């Protein structure tokens, strides 16, 4: 494995860090630390190992260690509000209206995901965004595959409720536009 092979996982790792920490500065630290450790340990990795799962496991372990440390010094967890509008992939090939709808839709999904409890946030990210198998997720979370299935079902159910409560996507965009118009 080349060191540069690791670079392809950066967005995924950053997303995972964001759903765990909900704070961009902490997420950046987590990703940096993950790469530092991965580069140091990569030579011990067997060639046929699942690098993606390995990197996610490293990141999660770093996060858990940080949590243990923080528990001895309680502090209020904060949601980096700027992140809700920053770092969205550009839609340069879409028309402005589609861009706007896509952006608002993405924001609503991200907002709903960030309102989920941590164990639901991470399982949604690992399965629905990173497309890891149940077995791979079970390895990362260090739990049986059955737990992955039941937790994922509950997480999706909760996410659906949150999205329904937030707004109905396409119609709401139009309704919002009309709300801005003078009576």
Interface residues toward other proteins, by CB under 8 A:
1, 3-7, 10-11, 13-15, 18-19, 24, 27-28, 31-32, 35-36, 39, 46-53, 83, 86-89, 102, 105-106, 109-110, 113, 124-125, 127-129, 131-136, 149-150, 152-153, 156-157, 159-160, 163, 169
Which DSSP state fits 2? -
- Residues in contact with 141: Cβ distance below 8 Å, sequence separation at least 6, in sequence order: 60, 122, 123, 126, 147, 148
For the bound state, the minimum distance from the C-beta of residue 182 to other proteins, rounded and expressed in Å, comes to 32
For the bound state, the minimum distance from the C-beta of residue 131 to other proteins, rounded and expressed in Å, comes to 7
Task: Output 27 or 62, the one with its CB closest to other proteins.
Answer: 27
Q: What tokens does 25 get?
A: 């500065």
For the bound state, the minimum distance from the C-beta of residue 125 to other proteins, rounded and expressed in Å, comes to 7
Task: Output 11 or 78, the one with its CB closest to other proteins.
Answer: 11
The burial class, CB within 10 Å (0-12 / 13-18 / 19+), for 23 is middle
Task: Output 28 or 173, the one with its CB closest to other proteins.
Answer: 28
Q: Which of 146, 181, 140, 176 is nearest to 57 (CA)?
A: 140
Task: Output 87 or 180, the one with its CB closest to other proteins.
Answer: 87
Q: Give me the count of residues in the chain.
A: 183
Radius of gyration (Cα) for the chain, nearest Å? 19
Task: Output 2 or 72, the one with its CB closest to other proteins.
Answer: 2
For the bound state, the minimum distance from the C-beta of residue 87 to other proteins, rounded and expressed in Å, comes to 5
3-state DSSP percent of the chain in helix, strand and coil, to 5: 75, 0, 25
For the bound state, the minimum distance from the C-beta of residue 25 to other proteins, rounded and expressed in Å, comes to 10
């Amino acid at each position: 494995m080349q060191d540069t092979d690791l670079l392809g996982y950066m967005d995924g790792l950053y997303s995972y860090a964001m759903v765990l920490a909900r704070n961009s500065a902490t997420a950046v630290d987590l990703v940096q630390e993950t790469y530092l450790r991965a580069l140091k340990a990569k030579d011990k990795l067997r060639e046929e190992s699942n690098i993606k799962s390995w990197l996610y496991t490293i990141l999660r372990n770093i996060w858990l260690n940080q949590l243990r440390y923080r528990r001895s010094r309680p502090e209020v967890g904060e949601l980096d509000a700027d992140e809700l509008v920053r770092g969205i992939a550009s839609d340069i090939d879409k028309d402005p209206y589609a861009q706007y709808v896509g952006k608002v839709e993405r924001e609503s999904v991200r907002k709903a995901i960030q309102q989920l409890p941590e164990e639901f946030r991470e399982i949604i990210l690992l399965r629905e965004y990173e497309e890891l198998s149940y077995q791979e997720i079970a390895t990362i979370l260090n739990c049986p595959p059955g737990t992955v299935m039941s937790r994922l079902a509950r997480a999706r159910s909760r996410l659906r409720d949150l999205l329904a409560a937030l707004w109905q996507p396409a119609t709401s965009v139009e309704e919002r536009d009309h709300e801005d118009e003078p009576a």
